[in-house]
Amino acid sequence: MANLIRSILDIFYPLFRRFFDRQTYYYAACGGGNLVLSWLLFFIFYQFVFAKRIFQFNLGKLHYVISAYTLSSIICFIMAFVIGFVLNKFVVFTQSNLGSSTQFIRYSMSAVLTWLGNYLLLKTLIEGFGFFPSIANVLSSGAMVLVAYLMQRNFTFK
């Protein structure tokens, strides 16, 4: 499957050769596809599955309130995490000498850090500036793309 994905990406690589080396191009294509998928899933979860509601949970004496955009963000993070790790390991950073478990732990750490940054920015844009959640999600995750790339290239799959 990884070879098939690379073969398809290689068809379009000549269009981007001036801008990216092959590994950066693979990362941009795989990461971009994963990012757009997560934006679409966030919109579906926020709009339709959770219907923009606020959820309340009572666990004994503890009372929790969680928004639809927070739940959508968590679910999309989990899905994008799995897809992203598989694409990065088997399509993008294939020359890494690190073991799979080391890569997974490092990927987990970098993914959690970028998700936290994304969530804090998402929350600020929605609650602080009044952005619509789906638009705020696109802006906040877009802002974290460079951070994620640098962490994965220089740490996770080094």
- Nearest partner of 104 among 32, 148, 145, 152, judged by Cα: 152
> Given this model, what pLDDT does residue 152 score?
82
- Nearest partner of 85 among 1, 156, 135, 155, judged by Cα: 156
The residue written with tokens 């923009």 in the block is: 52
> Given this model, what pLDDT does residue 155 score?
84
The residues, any chain, with a CB within 8 Å of residue 22's CB and separated by 6 or more, are: 13
Local confidence pLDDT in tens for the 158 residues of the chain: 999 999 999 999 999 999 999 999 999 999 999 999 999 999 999 999 999 999 998 988 999 999 999 999 999 999 999 999 999 999 998 988 889 999 999 999 999 999 999 999 999 999 999 999 999 999 999 899 888 888 887 888 87
> Given this model, what pLDDT does residue 156 score?
82
Residue count (the chain): 158
> Given this model, what pLDDT does residue 50 score?
96
> Given this model, what pLDDT does residue 91 score?
96
> Given this model, what pLDDT does residue 3 score?
95
> Given this model, what pLDDT does residue 140 score?
94
The residue written with tokens 């073991």 in the block is: 99
**At 92, which helix (H) or strand (E)?**
none
Structure tokens at 111: 């993914």
